[in-house]
Amino acid sequence: MAHSFFGGVHPKGYKELSCQMPITPIYPKTVTICMSQHIGAPCKPLVSIGDRVTVGQKIGDGQGLCAPVHASVSGEVVRIGPRPAPTGTYVESIVIASDGKYTLCPDLQKRESIQGLSPEELISIIREAGITGMGGAGFPTSVKLSSGLGKVDTVLINGAECEPYITSDDRLMQEAPERILRGISVIKTILQPKRTVIGVENNKPQAIAALRQALQGEAELLPLRVRYPQGAEKQLIQAVTGRQVPPGGLPAAVGCAVFNVATCAAICDAVFEGLPLVRRAVTVTGKAIAKPCNLLAPIGTSFEDLVEAAGGFASQPYKIFVGGPMMGIAQHTLEASTIKGNNALTCYSEADRPASVLPYCIRCGKCVEACPMQLMPLFLHKAQVLRDLEALEAEHVMDCIECGSCAYGCPARIPLVQSFRTGKKLLRDAKAKEGKK
Amino acid sequence: MKYKDLKLTLSSSPHAHSGCTTGVIMRDVCLALTPALIAAVWFFGPRALSVTVVSVIACVFFEWGYRTLMKKDSSISDWSAVVTGILIAFVCPVNLPYWTLIIADFFAIVVVKQLFGGIGLNIVNPALAARAFLFSWPSLMSGNWNKPGVSLPMTGAVDAVTAATPMEALAVGQLPSESLLELFFGRVGGSFGEISALALLLGLVYLLVTHVITLRIPLSYLGTVAVLAFIFPQGGNAPWEWALYQLLSGGLLLGAIFMATDYTTSPVTKNGQIAYGIGCGVLTILLRYFGSYVEGVSFAILIMNCCIGFFDKLGRPKRFGARKGGGKK
């Protein structure tokens, strides 16, 4: 089945709030750079309080599944310690007071071309630039690339941006298609795929037109139908190639590797400009925001600065989350700062507050129909409520990608995703206990 | 910090919802039933309306009363008791005494629905169970069917002119005296919500457009009945004529569109729903051909209601990414 995946829903887009706003740079006075930007090992700080740093200077690194972090402004390190992170917890961070000059690190090295560089050398450049997946989960890109060496025949570039509200990738594709394509050329040099496909949901005609002009045969451009979660890794692979990533497996298991368009642009900056991942486009939007917009924000910009740059609040916010409404993480404070995977800050106003409904399942089956992973959410939920570990395993709770399609359409508004996160934890804890015995 | 005193709500994703809640769905079902009610009032007079209203009020009252007595959250705002009230009225003769109707409402709401835990937890369709329960008074349920076109007042004498129903003719292998067109518009005797095929089909269109149901159950159900009636016509009648009369007579359309599709008592998967519809169709024909009652729709659906656990397993979707021949990789 080409161009299609199982299930899915059609949430209202709200992209018109910010899709006409060009990506505009902002210059915060301080940045707070989180040492734990993604799953895997956290970085250890390489600088001390009082040190002067420049843009692109490595300030944290670690062993194992880890990408280094860099100073995103030039200035002075004023604080090292736990700060609020977008995940809702306090995480070791480095606070830098900007001198406003954005002096570049003298060690950064520009390249005219990548001829003569081996795949391993390119991967090492990408690792040193601290590049992680910029679409969501934030998996270190160098690890993805090296684990895909020799196994990948299809490279997929993800420009689906299927989450409502978010327009940062849309703007990037319109404004800098050539950077994305130069990044793709680097990925192609490393992985040597037979096929390279850029997938963009067809509600972004300007992005599609801009990419088409810049293509020059570097990749196939595939407009995708608008359906959430079109941009989820496994669903994009299924829609484009018809292949299904096996349970618990990685895309490389079916010969695929998926990279977000913003990640491609970051690879271009790292390889050709020598610039590590120190800034990214962030959509600041929602009904509570006075002037929804797309900002080019240094990594570590506080959410407060983002809201200020977007004209402040137009009305009292009811809920604020990083990312889009389907998978975003709700925030309890605006003190937290952006990390590499933050593509948006969405602020709901009181008008978005839902009416309460009694959470009684009526067996309508809408969740079963919506699940892109072929799960049966109503039975999974029952198993979790009953703390039935056997049933949780039999219903494959670990297969859930937490896309939220089931809960989106649930007439009883049962918090299904929350239930499955609990279920996953129950199962993981039980397995860990078993392992100890 | 400029924004220190924000009162922010925290919750797990997703933070968006389709807006389609249980109450919205049930209201849509009520709207879809309206054409059938209009047809009933047209053919049987104001009593069809008063019977429906009494049944709805009684159902909502029992739902509210039970949950208040048991100190549970009030669930009347989900409109499910309203739907049950309309459906119970629809499957009764228009001349049924009000007291009998109210007993049936009590049975449906309290015994069949609330004693099992309330909405979503009942095993069988409350309205159909109530109809089965009403056969404790066989003379009231199938003794004298009012003739369509004779308007009945809300109170007073209601059994003046009676007529045979199409199902009674079909049960002995004869074609009814009504034309197919009369059946289609509803100028026939019978339970007053089931008479007009046109009105019920309008309701079906509305339910499809609003995505309350899909065609899977109605189509597989009606299709099975049509095919079986076509292959096995009775009394030497022409197969196509026999099949059309089987489709348009009795409670089949009401059952296939509004009863068999009841969420709680039907399977949740695509394939399960299709298999379930076929099962309903087979049982309906068997009960109509060989049962002692002339109509088989309500008992066919009630029996199938008890089997949904099997159909949920039968229709289970294949695990995403599972290799051929095995669950795990």
Domain harbouring A307, CATH code:
3.40.50.11540
Residue A29: count of CB within 10 angstroms of its CB: 12
- Global pTM value: 0.92
Q: Are B8 and A307 within 8 A, CB to CB?
A: no
Say which range, A214-223, B67-76, B135-144, has the weakest mean pLDDT.
B135-144
Q: CA B185, CA B192: separation in Å to the nearest integer?
A: 13
Q: Would you say residue A385 lies in a domain? A: yes
Across the interface, of A362, A368, A418, the residue whose CB is closest to B120 is: A362
Per-residue pLDDT tens digits for B222-233: 999 999 999 999
The residue from A318, A353, A388 where one domain ends is A353
H or E element at residue A344: strand A344-349
Q: Would you say residue B326 lies in a domain? A: no
Q: Characterize A335-365 residue by residue with b for buried, 16 or more Cβ atoms within 10 angstroms of its Cβ, and e for exposed.
A: bbbbbbbbbbbbbbbeebeeeebbebbbbbb
* pLDDT, position B164: 77
Q: Are B18 and A11 within 8 A, CB to CB?
A: yes
Q: Are B6 and A334 within 8 A, CB to CB?
A: yes
Please indicate, yes or no, whether residues A114 and A236 belong to a single structural domain of this protein.
Answer: yes
Smallest CA–CA distance, residue A1 to chain B, in Å, is: 14
Whether residue B72 has pLDDT greater than 50: yes
Using a CB–CB cutoff of 8 Å, tell me whether A14 touches chain B.
Answer: no
Across the interface, of B25, B120, B329, the residue whose CB is closest to A360 is: B120
Chain B residues touching A313 at Cβ < 8 A: 3
Q: Would you say residue B4 lies in a domain? A: no
| DSSP E strand stretches across A153-275 | 154-159, 195-201, 220-224, 256-260
Q: Are A248 and B120 within 8 A, CB to CB?
A: no
Using a CB–CB cutoff of 8 Å, tell me whether A72 touches chain B.
Answer: no
Please indicate, yes or no, whether residues A263 and A128 belong to a single structural domain of this protein.
Answer: yes
Q: Would you say residue B2 lies in a domain? A: no
State how many domains chain B has.
Answer: 1
Using a CB–CB cutoff of 8 Å, tell me whether A358 touches chain B.
Answer: yes
State how many domains chain A has.
Answer: 2
Q: Are A317 and B6 within 8 A, CB to CB?
A: yes
Please indicate, yes or no, whether residues A139 and A247 belong to a single structural domain of this protein.
Answer: yes
Across the interface, of A247, A318, A365, the residue whose CB is closest to B319 is: A247
Smallest CA–CA distance, residue B118 to chain A, in Å, is: 9
Chain B residues touching A348 at Cβ < 8 A: 15
pLDDT grade for B143, boundaries at 50, 70 and 90: low
Residue B216: count of CB within 10 angstroms of its CB: 21
Q: Would you say residue A78 lies in a domain? A: no
Smallest CA–CA distance, residue A184 to chain B, in Å, is: 27
Q: Would you say residue A183 lies in a domain? A: yes
Smallest CA–CA distance, residue B21 to chain A, in Å, is: 4
Whether residue B327 has pLDDT greater than 90: no
- Between B220 and B5, the higher pLDDT residue: B220
Q: Would you say residue B323 lies in a domain? A: no
* pLDDT, position B158: 66
- Give residue B147's domain range: 22-314
Whether residue B69 has pLDDT greater than 70: yes
The residue from A353, A380, A407 where one domain ends is A353
Pairing assessment for the beta strands A329-330 and A317-322 based on DSSP bridges: antiparallel
- Residue of chain A with shortest Cα separation from B316: A376
Which CATH number do you get for residue B227?
1.10.3430
* pLDDT, position A170: 97
* pLDDT, position B146: 81
Q: Are B320 and A247 within 8 A, CB to CB?
A: yes
Q: CA B267, CA A350: separation in Å to the nearest integer?
A: 38
Please indicate, yes or no, whether residues A347 and A398 belong to a single structural domain of this protein.
Answer: no
Per-residue pLDDT tens digits for A256-284: 999 999 999 999 999 999 999 999 999 99
Residue of B268, B269, B314, B329 to mutate, testing the A interface (most A Cβ within 10 Å of its Cβ): B268
* pLDDT, position B1: 60
Which stretches in chain A have pLDDT values below 50?
A: 1
Per-residue pLDDT tens digits for A151-198: 999 999 999 999 999 999 999 999 999 999 999 999 999 999 999 999
Question: What residues of chain A, 294 to 323, have a C-beta less than 8 Å from chain B?
Answer: 304, 307-308, 313, 317-321
Q: Are A321 and B328 within 8 A, CB to CB?
A: no
Burial class (CB in 10 A: 0-12, 13-18, 19+), B219: middle
* pLDDT, position B324: 60
pLDDT grade for B326, boundaries at 50, 70 and 90: very low
Using a CB–CB cutoff of 8 Å, tell me whether A328 touches chain B.
Answer: yes
Question: What residues of chain A, 125 to 164, have a C-beta less than 8 Å from chain B?
Answer: 164
Using CA atoms in the order B175, B179, B181, B187, what is the torsion angle rounded to 10 degrees?
-100
Please indicate, yes or no, whether residues A348 and A374 belong to a single structural domain of this protein.
Answer: no
* Percent above pLDDT 70 for chain B: 95
Please indicate, yes or no, whether residues A202 and A249 belong to a single structural domain of this protein.
Answer: yes
Chain A residues touching B6 at Cβ < 8 A: 317, 320, 333-334
* pLDDT, position B141: 81
Question: What residues of chain A, 31 to 60, have a C-beta less than 8 Å from chain B?
Answer: none
Across the interface, of A331, A353, A411, the residue whose CB is closest to B20 is: A411
- Give residue A410's domain range: 366-436
Per-residue pLDDT tens digits for B98-113: 999 999 999 999 999 9
Q: Are B3 and A307 within 8 A, CB to CB?
A: yes
Q: Radius of gyration of chain A from Cα atoms?
A: 21
Please indicate, yes or no, whether residues A331 and A372 belong to a single structural domain of this protein.
Answer: no
How does the average pLDDT of chain B come out, rounded?
92
Closest CA to A166 of A351, A352, A323: A323
pLDDT grade for B139, boundaries at 50, 70 and 90: confident
Please indicate, yes or no, whether residues A161 and A13 belong to a single structural domain of this protein.
Answer: yes
Please indicate, yes or no, whether residues A312 and A426 belong to a single structural domain of this protein.
Answer: no
Q: Would you say residue B132 lies in a domain? A: yes
Per-residue pLDDT tens digits for A323-360: 999 999 999 999 999 999 999 999 999 999 998 888 99
Using a CB–CB cutoff of 8 Å, tell me whether A396 touches chain B.
Answer: yes
Please indicate, yes or no, whether residues A334 and A413 belong to a single structural domain of this protein.
Answer: no
Q: Would you say residue A87 lies in a domain? A: no
* Percent above pLDDT 90 for chain B: 79
Please indicate, yes or no, whether residues A193 and A322 belong to a single structural domain of this protein.
Answer: yes
User: What's the maximum distance between 2 C-alpha atoms anywhere in chain A?
Assistant: 64
Chain A residues touching B329 at Cβ < 8 A: 246-249
Q: CA A345, CA A321: separation in Å to the nearest integer?
A: 6
Please indicate, yes or no, whether residues A317 and A168 belong to a single structural domain of this protein.
Answer: yes
The residue from A330, A353, A376 where one domain ends is A353
Query: Average pLDDT, stretch B144-169?
Result: 77
Query: Average pLDDT, stretch B74-79?
Result: 91
Q: CA A236, CA B91: separation in Å to the nearest integer?
A: 49
